[in-house]
Amino acid sequence: MGLTWKERAFTALLGAAAVSGLTTLILFLVEATNVLLPADTKFGIVFDAGSSHTSLFVYQWLANKENDTGVVSQALACQAKGPGISSYASDPAQAGESLQGCLEEALALIPKAKHQQTPMFLGATAGMRLLSQKNSSQAEDVFAAVSRVLSQSPVDFWGAELLAGQDEGALGWVTINYVLGLLVKYSFSGEWIRPLEGTLVGALDMGGASTQITFVPGGPILDNTTQATFRLYGTEHSVYTHSYLCFGRDEMLNRLLGGLVQSSPGLLVRHPCYHSGYRGTLALAPLYGSPCVQAAAPRDLGQNLTVEGTGNPGACVAAIRGLFNFSSCDGRGDCAFDRVYQPPVRGQFYVEASSPGQDRWLRDYCASGLYILTLLLEGYGFSQETWGGIEFRKQAGGTDVGWTLGYMLNLTSLIPAEAPAPWRAQSYGVWVAGVVFLVLTLMAILGATAVQLWLRD
């Protein structure tokens, strides 16, 4: 039996409503897709040439200036094979070659069409600072070799430079506060707001050859050599920052061993920070090759040193305290150690401590842990009340909390002087499409219901 004319009319109306609804939905979804397409994405590459190793970081951000705040993200982190570039002083060409593997990873990640527009920098820290002090000619050769390799890449190489200790600390402070959204953030009411000054966090960095502390003190900074000033998003920030060369983990261990060698007769050293039962040999020449080891060297550096562990925590702490000059700050409340001015620590701190993670460093874990404890409590002046404000983090929000992001932001002027204009949500088109679809669906249902009632009559 065929359909009546009323049933055919109902089917036609229902089909027309469905086609109309789907067509409109598709058109709105196409428009929404266009709205959601990201603006031109840009990339930046930074090499962190540290004392113990070199790391590469790739950052990406939207080119739209209104989106500069809070949209920079870490796209790649790569650790180059081998030691830091300062270790290649006798063979500079290898310093450049050691960066090739990570550079190739970065180039594979970044679209080829973006290569020429991608800035790339290399910043060298305490390892190269020490090499520059020891042999400036060798340091220049290493920088030349690194620059030669990186300048041959298809990206826009902006150069390799020696980063001052104060800059390393201050840029690390910018990184962590930027990543945590503490410099400026976008509110639900559609306005840019600046968090209260007291919410800014301090930055502590424990590297291989140096350590840095940076924070906003509770009062004026009385020594302008320890002050760094930034104008970010229309607000001026003044921070205390200081870098201690030769107080990083690796150089601390060298200085500790050098002092034990000096106080031991012959070439047998009993090390209180090594576990009982440990016995090993090492060459003397590399130990005394560091400018940080001030102890008098034995006459014959070609000999090997035998080290035995005694596992004595009390003696270990005493030996570590001997690396600091705490007595130079007696009676001064604004002094850390070695006569260095420092106001009292204030607020929450994020610590980035490098960790080699290799079995050969297991012997040094006890010494490293007690050293960090001594530095934080007796050196920087943290107490039982302020200790809880320290967080040990390697990353925040998926981004490494070192100096590299702050360095890139600074050199590429990604941080504008004033807060950008309010940003309109790009998801607007999706909401509109959803609302229209619901309205059309409701209209189709109501229409179908009306027709069914009509058919019953």
Asked if residue 274 lies in contact with residue 307, where contact means CB atoms within 8 angstroms, the answer is yes
> Which residue matches tokens 């970010």?
232
Q: Is the dihedral of CA 433, 436, 442, 443 positive or negative?
A: negative
Distance CA(155)–CA(109), nearest Å, equals: 13
> Which residue matches tokens 């086609």?
19
The pLDDT, as a whole number, for residue 414 is 65
Side by side, the strands of the sheet bearing 235-245 are 227-232, 235-245, 210-215, 202-206, 349-353, 390-392
DSSP class of 204: E
- Backbone φ, ψ for residue 236 (5° rounding): -90, 130
CA angle, corner 328, sides to 374 and 240, nearest 5?
Answer: 70
Domain ranges of the chain: 5-37+428-456, 249-390
- Smallest CA-to-CA distance from 170 within 137, 200, 191, 144 is with 200
Strand partners, 405: none
Region at 233 (left for phi over 0; alpha for psi -120 to 50; beta for the rest): left
268-271 and 304-309 beta bridge pairing: parallel
210-215 and 202-206 beta bridge pairing: antiparallel
Asked if residue 116 lies in contact with residue 129, where contact means CB atoms within 8 angstroms, the answer is no
Asked if residue 456 lies in contact with residue 56, where contact means CB atoms within 8 angstroms, the answer is no
Mean pLDDT lowest for which of 22-36, 71-85, 241-255? 22-36
Asked if residue 250 lies in contact with residue 348, where contact means CB atoms within 8 angstroms, the answer is no
Residue 386 neighbours by CB under 8 Å, 6+ apart:
345
Burial of 442 (0-12, 13-18, 19+ CB in 10 A): exposed
Distance CA(446)–CA(457), nearest Å, equals: 17
Task: Enumerate helices (H) and strands (E) in the chain, giving the number of each.
Answer: 12, 18
Burial of 12 (0-12, 13-18, 19+ CB in 10 A): exposed
- Backbone φ, ψ for residue 315 (5° rounding): -70, -30
Distance CA(15)–CA(27), nearest Å, equals: 18
The pLDDT, as a whole number, for residue 2 is 53
Please give the structure tokens belonging to residue 409: 């932001």
User: Higher confidence at residue 341 or residue 4?
Assistant: 341
The pLDDT, as a whole number, for residue 431 is 40
pLDDT beyond 90 at 411: no
The pLDDT, as a whole number, for residue 264 is 85
DSSP string for 337-360:
STT-B-PPP-S-EEEEE-----GG
| Mean pLDDT value across residues 330-336 | 88
Residue 172 neighbours by CB under 8 Å, 6+ apart:
203, 205, 212, 214, 352, 401, 402, 403, 406
Just give the CATH number of 249-390: 3.30.420.150
Amino acid at 326: F
Question: Average pLDDT, whole number, for the chain?
Answer: 81
Active site residue 105: no
pLDDT digits (tens, 9 = 90+) for 121-156: 999 999 999 999 999 999 999 999 999 999 999 999
Where does 263-363 have alpha helices with state H? 284-288, 313-321
CA angle, corner 388, sides to 385 and 391, nearest 5?
Answer: 150
Question: Of residues 66, 104, 105, 168, which has the active-site annotation?
Answer: 168
202-206 and 349-353 beta bridge pairing: parallel
The pLDDT, as a whole number, for residue 41 is 85
> Which residue matches tokens 């035995």?
308
pLDDT beyond 50 at 309: yes
Distance CA(27)–CA(239), nearest Å, equals: 53
Mean pLDDT lowest for which of 110-119, 227-236, 437-446? 437-446
Instruction: From residue 239, give the alpha-carbon distance in Å to each of 205, 231, 346, 408.
Output: 15, 11, 11, 19
Asked if residue 250 lies in contact with residue 364, where contact means CB atoms within 8 angstroms, the answer is no
Per the document, the length of the chain is 457
pLDDT digits (tens, 9 = 90+) for 244-281: 999 999 999 999 999 999 888 788 999 999 999 999 99
The pLDDT, as a whole number, for residue 286 is 86
Most confident of 263-267, 331-335, 437-441: 331-335
| Mean pLDDT value across residues 392-409 | 86
Q: What is the pTM of this model?
A: 0.78
